[in-house]
Structure 1
Amino acid sequence: MSDTATHTRTRGSKVRQFFQWRNSIAWLVLVVTLLVQLAIFNHLQIDEERAAERQFGLLVEKTSEAISKRLVDHEQILLGAAGLFDATGEVSRTQWRIYHKRLNLAERYPGIQGVGFAEAVRPEDIAAHEQRVRAEGYPDYRVHPVQDGSVLLTPVLYIEPFGARNLAAFGYDMFSEPVRRQAMRKAAETGQPRLTGKVTLRQETHGKVQAGVLMYIPIYRAGLETDTPEARLQALRGFVYSPYRMDDLMHGILGAADANLSLQIYAGDAEIPEQRLFASAERSHAQPAEYRQLVQLELYGQTWTLQFESLPEFEAYYHSNDTLVLVGCLGLSLLLFFLTSSLALGRSRAEAMAQEMTEHIRENKRALQLSEERLSLALKGSNDGVWDLHLAAGSFYASPRAWHMLGYRPGELQADLKLWERLMMPEDLPRARAQLAQTMLSNVDHFTTELRFRHKDGHVLPVLVRGYIQRDQDGRALRISGTSMDLTEHKRIEQMKDEFVSTVSHELRTPLTSISGALGLITGGAMGEVPTAMQQMLDIAHRNSLRLGHLINDLLDMEKIAAGKMTFDLREHSLRRLLDEALASNQAFATHLGVNCVLKNPADVRVWVDGLRLQQVLSNFLSNAIKYTPEGGQVTLHCSRTDTGHVRINVTDQGPGIPKGFQSRIFEKFAQADASDSRQKGGTGLGLAITKEFIERMGGRVGFDTTEGAGTTFWCELPVVESSAPSADQGQLRLLVVEDEPDTGRLLHLMLRDAGYSVDRAQSLHAARSKLAETRYEAMTLDLHLPDGSGSDLIEEVRADPKTRDLPIIVVSAATHFDQKTEYAGVTWLHKPISAAQLLIALSESLEQTRPHG
């Protein structure tokens, strides 16, 4: 009983402590926080109301822009169709179907009912028109409805997709219906696209009847005057058009749009129920909408009134957390009250806590200072400079060592984001910009590159730059930081090494040639019979002199590659002939070692290579395979085609395979396996490194497949030159496609051929120059990056030649703006990937600009 009374007194004492004068600060905190949070709550409600209004406005603007943009896209589709008529003269039903199939409207623009063509027919020509269409395989075709007194009929001739609902429109005279006729007449008189008012489409054959509209673009007969409305009506050939079921169209445009808004669309500038085109989710009229807005869109001669209203779900979203916020505010106030009480009633505890926090801060400060000292000492030891580009803030920082490296004092130059461009060698700047742009657009975080800067005293300073890119959640670069290392001494030592190797190699070459030649004459019997014992020694000396000659040749090749002096004579070659020559030149070596070399499945293709360099590659592959194949074994040379338009050349041996620990270094300079057997086989360790450089310079790649104890296959892949025989000219415009990538070249060829053009192809600058010299072309497509040069050079040559000065050129490339030198007259730029519509529209516009007027 006494324990219970004691517990009760203790609890009462603790409660009374909250009401003592020492706790008055806690009560003051409670009152102040409640008042502050009440003001904050009121401010939050105002902000929520503003946020709701802004969000509603953004949704209205987004929806309106989506509708306008989609109709502009549909206009471009119809303009492309009109361009097809203007460019080809006559468009067959098959061509129209192919054009529609290429557009892939069901995936790209869901909601569009189709794309059609309505021919303008005079009443006296109706019989001939019907007879012509029936002859195409439609015996039941007729123009309907039949009206007396019509001066013009526009029956639907083509409509794709040609099936389902669209069949009901086949042969329908759209000029017979007043709403359609008004839009068609306006389009014909002005030459501009026009929308109809609200109509019921012929396609409403079953299911729910939806409101419909149509878009028309007029087509005129070539060679007739179109300067006045009357002249345009006389020259009218017909209309390309698209019918839209409004519910399907809007669902295709809006997709999964915010369901918390109600949208109604009316034809005209007023909300007339009879003119309603579309209605999404509607709210109950029992409670008016908090947010409502009317938007009027002027669309191709029609006014659409868009009525937006918020739904209860939208309004509740911005006020759903009021209770939670109030409870949180009260809880926070009570928490601060109890915390303040605890601090006021436990001063000693607070002082101890403050002391502990102060000590913790001091420890963190000492640790930070120690870390900065270590970083400073490490940078001094490495002799590297530190730099930092803050892209968001537009600031640049460089450490004193980074400035001293370039001969400047800190702060001597204006530090901004373009400083590196001003200090770089001018001839290196375009390449550096392109490399930087590629790095920024990729998803890499670290990079390493060599740059050349101009020292303050004028000399060139090579610098190794290493950096780290800090990106945001969308992958955009925010900050770039890193180090810079002076490579002057490294380059000097590397140059001394290269000069030493070059000098020694050249100086050894002359006496070694004499030694090898003399030994060859003696061992060949030119000096008479040699004693057997001496013959063996002479053979050893001769073989090793030849081996030393190969070593020197490999060293000289590596020197040329490193110095950038290795030139390549790229031409078109028969791969079968090159393989036969390689096998024949290594047959004597194989016979000497008792190895059989065979050629299997030689590919009958042509490749764009340097014949001598490829022979050297094949000789490296074959000689290595022969050396490691046991006596009596077989080396196989065989080919295969890849899915990427390349041919793979394989050389397979029956040797011991490549050790796993050596496989990652096999294409490095002077790389050789450590096994004693490989040392006995000899070799410089440079052959495969040279092979890799040669193949990559010729646009291919190398590799190997191996299994220890089961042989090795070395392979290289080279791009195939596909033959492009000139197509027969049947009065078609002839075009030239210059593209080295086989799949892209084939795609462009099909796009243009299906559009009715005669197309030739070239896969290199050399081939393009030959074709331009032999044949007259109406236009040309061009890729900028070709295996034997830049497409920009070809543009300059074409513009400099009087015969081709006005030739339209369409550049189809994945190049960025860093690669575009200047704007050339008569050149249209299309960036990959492109669609058939883009290509045909650009081609039509380019040909129209060069076509004589009058």
Structure 2
Amino acid sequence: MPLLLALLVLLVSLVVTFSAWSSAERNAQAQLLETFDYRTRDMAVSISRRMAVYEQVLRGARGYLRGSVEVGQREWEEYYRTLRLDQSFPGLEALGIAAIVPSAGPAARALATSVTRIEPFSGRNLRAVGFDMYGEPVRRAAMERARDTGLAALSGKVVLVQEGKAGQQAGVLMYLPVYRAGQLTGTVEQRRAAIAGWVYSPFRMDDLMRGLGGAHSTDLDIDIHDGEPGNDASLLYRSGQVRAARLRASAQIVPGGRTWTITMRSSAALEHSLDTARPRLVAITGIGLGLLLSIVVWLLASERRRALQLAQGMTLELRQSHDQVAAEQHRIKVILEHAPDAFVALDARGRITDWNAQASRLFGWSAAQAIGRDAAELLPEEGRAAFRTGFDDFAVHGHCPLLGAPNELTVLDSQGRPIPAELTVAVLPIGQGYGATAFVRDIRQRKETEARELQRQQGLVDARQALARAQKLEAVGKLTGGVAHDFNNILHIISANVQLMLRADGANRKRLLSILDAVERGSKLAGQLLAFARRQPLHPLEVHVDGLLDRMDSLVQRAAGDAITLERRVPPDLWPVLVDPNQLENVLLNLVINARDAMDGSGRIVLALSNVHVDGDALLAAGDYVTVAVADSGHGMPLDVMERAFEPFFTTKPEGKGTGLGLSMAHGFARQSGGDIRLASEPGKGTTVTLYLPRHMAAREVHAT
């Protein structure tokens, strides 16, 4: 009996040892598979992210060009060196410009290109200068796709012009179209008509991939094919020799609108990292303990007391093992309860089974309220049917598109309020089916930050554009003022001499009067130019604009015409301003006449006055202002006309219908008076011209005009 008992104990020990060894072996295999899955996902994301970064480099270069491929070699070199592209973006072979050039010769094509700029302008990149990439089918297909879509386009596999006879690598090129400034690009035909060239970057695939692996670059053997894997003709990159690997995975990315298939195999180095020591230790320990236990049982079988002691010892070990399991479960619970993201676990029916404290804070349900609910209640109503259908399929097969990388979606709290969130889902095997675990991160603050940053960037763009227009008008004003001043001096000389001649000789009086009339018109033109240049003599007085409009009422009504409805909006307690009243009358009259002409004889003109406080911007100092807005219901202005509206002699009226100095004079008067003028218009919806006149803080005069 002692021998049979010892053999039975040994058999049980071997069974337990085999079970523990199998579990350890499965854990080691699972750990290797988990490491491989992480490496493959990380590699695919790294390649996709790197290509997206290079696309942003091209977008930055296109923004620098601002609608023209005509850039000097020195400026292009300075741009490349300032951004340190060769140091900040490893794998970027070069940054170049392919411009459209005239095609000559009997076999001339409809379109030809030439590489006009490339940096770094040295070494093998010199071979690309002047190369017509549009003449090669693979490159042309990518260039046409970029031109027609307005997006970055990646070419198929090519041999770069930079390659020599030795050490050739497979190459690809990424193109981004450059459209001429001011051209419409809303349709394919408009984009084809507006194309001026391309900014592009060539990539040598071995150089591109060299910096992506990092510390774990030896864990994977990688093949990259252009499109679906085929023969060597589609092979872009291969990191090592093809071998029979334990693990294998594939992923597809779409850089620049072109599909790349990435085939990844576990390398020998990764497979050698498989933990075989632990299963071996478990097996050796289990067999040794089984033999020892069998010997002990055989020796002590005849002594009940010693057998009881042995049983107590085994009981203590089992209790310790149970305590360890309980402690591990408690540790996992503490980790989940203090996790920064909400944790939700679902069974195979889509019901909530686990719910941490962060989930309660995010969704507003306690764990007792949430557990047992259908997870579809966390989603908006329009997405619940699709979730139930997809989860039923997932519960059977264990696959869904949300597995792995984080995904953004909208969830609902207990009050039905939408919350933008980031979801990371993992499979949870449950019996014969599959459940899921999910970490849900609240990204409301991140979304708000992104929206504020977008608004800030748009504000910077608007400010830069306004400053550029002001600088342009300032330069034109200086030139115009100088010319008008000299012209006015000449007119004074002519006028004085004509008047002297009129006194001395009356025979040619009619001709002299004609000359004098022309001189007066030239003097008026010079005065308008001086007004635009802000060099006209002003006699500022304290003016109440509402009283000024009352006195001008009949004049303004005659200028507008009987078919025009004239409406005034004047607030109470309007602030006074310090301006030249005569010049202000001229400006208002010109604005009303422009509004009348924009409506083809019928419509409505609104004169609106208001007190405003301006915090300050690129062209207007902070302070209090009185605004005078002249709004019409005419045909409005397109953007290109608005950008030139304040330039002298620019007009959209027919020849002989205007000098083009009305708005430019108003602009010069407003700026010379310490204010500004703003233009708002939309085709088909009318135009509003707003004068900003600084508030006058002096005591109100009884005779103020």
By the TM > 0.5 criterion, same fold? no
TM-score normalised over the length of structure 2: 0.43
TM-score, normalised relative to structure 1: 0.36
